Structure 1
Amino acid sequence: MTIIDTAADDALAQEFVEFAIGAGVLRFGEFKTKAGRLSPYFFNAGLFDDGIKLGRLAQFYARRIMDSGIEFDMLFGPAYKGIPLGAAVAIELARLGRNVPFAYNRKEAKDHGEGGTLVGAPVKGRVLIVDDVISAGTAVRESIGIIKAAGATPHAIAIALDRQEKATENGVDVAYSAVQQVRDQLGLQVCAIARLADLLQYLEQHGDTAVQGRHEEVLAYRRRYGVD
Structure 2
Amino acid sequence: MNGPRAASGDQDALAREFVQFAIESGVLRFGEFRTKAGRMSPYFFNAGLFDDGAKLGRLAQFYARALVASGLEFDLIFGPAYKGIPLGAAVAVELARLGVNKPFAYNRKEAKDHGEGGMLVGAPLVGRVLIVDDVISAGTAVRESIALIKAAGATPHAVAIALDRQEKATENGRDVAWSAVQYVRETLGLQVCAIAKLADLLGFLQTTADFSRHLAAVSDYRTRYGVDYDVDIGVK
Aligned residues: 223
Letter in 2 for 1:164: Q
Q: CA RMSD in A?
A: 1.5
Structure 1 partner of 2:15 = 13
User: In the alignment, what sits opposite 1:137?
Assistant: 139
Which residues of structure 2 form unaligned runs of 5+? 229-236
Aligned with residue 127 of structure 2, among 118, 121, 125: 125
The answer for the alignment partner of 1:157 in structure 2 is 159
Equivalent in the alignment of 1:73:
75
Report the Cα distance in structure 2 between the residues aligned to 1:67 and 1:202, rounded to whole angstroms: 21
Matching residue of 2:102: 100
In the TM superposition, residue 212 of structure 1 has moved relative to its aligned partner by: 3.4
Q: Tell whether 2:27 aligns with 1:39.
A: no
Other-structure match for 2:223 = 223
Question: What does the per-residue CA deviation read over 1:129-155, in whole Å, with 9 as the maximum and x for residues that have no partner?
Answer: 000000011000000000000000000
Q: Percent of aligned positions with the same letter in both sequences?
A: 77
Q: Distance in 1 between matches of 2:180 and 2:128?
A: 22
In the alignment, the residues of structure 1 paired with residue 156 and residue 30 of structure 2 have an alpha-carbon distance, to the nearest angstrom, of 34
Aligned pair 1:212/2:229, yes or no?
Answer: no
Q: What amino acid maps onto 1:220 in structure 2?
A: D
Q: Which one scores higher on RCO, CA 8 angstroms, separation ≥ 6?
A: 1
- Partner Cα distance (2:212, 2:134) in 1: 26
User: Distance in 1 between the 2:202 and 2:124 partners?
Assistant: 41
In the other structure, the counterpart of 1:180 is: 182
- Tell me whether 1:86 sits opposite 2:83 in the alignment: no
Measured in 2, the distance between the counterparts of 1:92 and 1:222 equals 33
- Hey, what does 1:52 align to over in structure 2? 54
Which letter maps to 1:221? Answer: Y
TM-score (norm 2): 0.92
Offset from partner CA, 1:54-74 (integer Å, 9 cap, x none): 000000000000111111001
Query: Runs of 4 or more off by more than 2 Å in structure 1?
Result: 6-9
Partner SS, residue 212 of structure 1: helix
Paired residue type of 1:120: G
Task: Please give the alpha-carbon distance, in whole angstroms, between the structure 2 residues aligned to 1:49 and 1:7.
Answer: 30
CA distance in 1, matches of 2:110, 2:52: 26
The alpha-carbon deviation at position 7 of structure 1 amounts to 4.5
Gaps of 5+ in 1: none
TM-score of the pair, normalised by structure 1: 0.95
Q: Distance in 2 between matches of 1:140 and 1:86?
A: 14
